[in-house]
């Protein structure tokens, strides 16, 4: 009887996405162990901001109790490079799951890959920082131009959470289609906010009131300015543009419209910002009224024109019949205009935020790596 293979798993980041991933990992572990030949997924390391639990003999850690065990850890917190070296000495293939948004960690990805350790991650900063880092990551990855024996890297959840956005774009490019334009709503937060601020049916509250509602419902970051500055969308556009073939330098190298009034950029806290935001409602009221007068609604979108090499993020008005206008709740919508699809774009739509769907994209990437590892 075939003994199958063993793959070692390390998880960094056990917040909302990380905890959801651990639950999905436990289910995947059970399924793969029942196959013939089986694949054994052995969790050997879990790390968060101040604590790390690792298995001295690379024996599997119980996924069901790992968070409780991590809470009890009292040993000194090791440097990240120590943990990477520990993983590199495992007796088989290793996949490192980075559920953080840590840029410092991202800069180590090329080294991790060069040691034969694969990476799956939703970390947008890793793939939207400098074009140099993007290049170095894929020069080291086995599914880039890296040598055989290096690790693989996948980051589907860095755009669109669990939606198949990057895999679709990669397939369009790799099969030789010509992508001419990418357009859409890339933020669940901004989708919810503008669907509420200016519903297709009319009405909606003031901008400040809708921002507060979005925050109270948990759609925004603790400080809403982290959503309203547009950089989250800009990071996603940077990733998509690079896959489409544009060497975009960074998320700040193209026009990004911030919805933070200049007078409030220096607020000392998110609470102070929310308290003062109503003072500037008239500005967004004018934007809403102008769109309504034209029979349109305003939405916060990102677009990439591949031919003109133009990338931008900001407010645009759409006819009420347009798919972007008709979006519901916090859904994302991404339209790919290509030579093969002609004037009717390939559209991907659905939940683009949330711990479970983001973790699903990470788990999907893990499955891709498992199939590639020999």
C-alpha distances (whole Å) from 349 to each of 133, 162, 177, 333, 352 are 30, 11, 21, 4, 8
Residue-wise DSSP of 177-199: --EEEEEEE--HHHHHHHHHHS-
309 part of the active site? no
Annotated binding site: 13-18, 100, 124, 221
Annotated binding site for NADPH: 100, 124
Q: Which residues contact 71 (CB under 8 A, 6 or more apart)?
A: 51
Q: How far apart are CA 297 and CA 227, in angstroms?
A: 20
Contact 227, 270 (CB under 8 A): no
* CA 212 to chain CA centroid, nearest Å: 24
Q: How far apart are CA 42 and CA 6, in angstroms?
A: 7
Provide the strand spans (E) within 52-111: 52-54, 93-98
Annotated binding site for NADP(+): 13-18
Annotated binding site for L-homoserine: 221
State the pairing for strand pair 310-319/296-305. antiparallel
Q: Name the catalytic one among 93, 215, 236, 288.
A: 236
Q: How far apart are CA 360 and CA 273, in angstroms?
A: 34
**Which residues are the active-site residues?**
236
């Amino acid at each position: 009887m075939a003994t199958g293979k063993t793959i070692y798993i390390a998880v960094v980041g056990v917040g909302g996405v990380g905890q959801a991933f651990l639950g999905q990992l436990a289910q995947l572990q059970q399924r793969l162990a029942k196959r013939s030949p089986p694949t054994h997924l052995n969790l050997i390391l879990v790390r968060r901001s101040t604590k790390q639990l690792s298995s001295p003999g690379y024996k599997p850690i119980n996924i069901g109790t790992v968070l409780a065990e991590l809470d009890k850890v009292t040993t000194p917190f090791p440097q990240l490079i120590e943990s990477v070296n520990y993983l590199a000495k495992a007796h088989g293939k290793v996949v490192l799951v980075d559920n953080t948004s840590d840029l410092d960690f991202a800069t180590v990805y090329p080294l991790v890959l060069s040691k034969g350790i694969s990476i799956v991650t939703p970390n947008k900063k890793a793939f939207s920082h400098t074009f140099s880092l993007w290049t170095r990551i894929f020069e080291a990855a086995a599914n880039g131009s890296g040598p055989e024996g290096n690790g693989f890297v996948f980051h589907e959840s860095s755009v669109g959470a669990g939606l198949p956005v990057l895999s679709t774009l990669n397939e369009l490019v790799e099969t030789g289609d010509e992508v001419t334009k990418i357009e859409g709503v890339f933020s669940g937060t901004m989708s919810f906010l503008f669907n509420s601020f200016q519903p297709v049916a009319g009405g909606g509250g003031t901008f400040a009131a809708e921002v507060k509602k979005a925050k109270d419902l948990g759609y925004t970051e603790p400080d809403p300015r982290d959503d309203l500055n547009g950089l989250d969308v800009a990071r996603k556009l940077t990733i998509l543009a690079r896959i489409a073939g544009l060497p975009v330098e960074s998320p700040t190298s193209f026009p990004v419209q911030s919805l933070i009034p200049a007078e409030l950029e220096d607020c000392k806290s998110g609470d102070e910002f929310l308290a003062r935001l109503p003072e500037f409602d008239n500005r967004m009221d004018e934007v809403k009224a102008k769109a309504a007068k034209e029979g349109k609604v305003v939405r916060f979108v990102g677009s990439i024109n591949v031919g003109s090499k133009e990338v931008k993020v900001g407010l645009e008005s759409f006819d009420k019949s347009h798919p972007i206008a008709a979006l519901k709740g916090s859904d994302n919508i991404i339209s790919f205009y290509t030579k093969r699809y002609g004037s009717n774009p390939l559209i991907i739509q659905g939940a683009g935020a949330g711990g479970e769907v983001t973790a699903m994209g990470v788990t999907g990437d893990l499955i891709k790596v498992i199939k590639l590892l020999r």
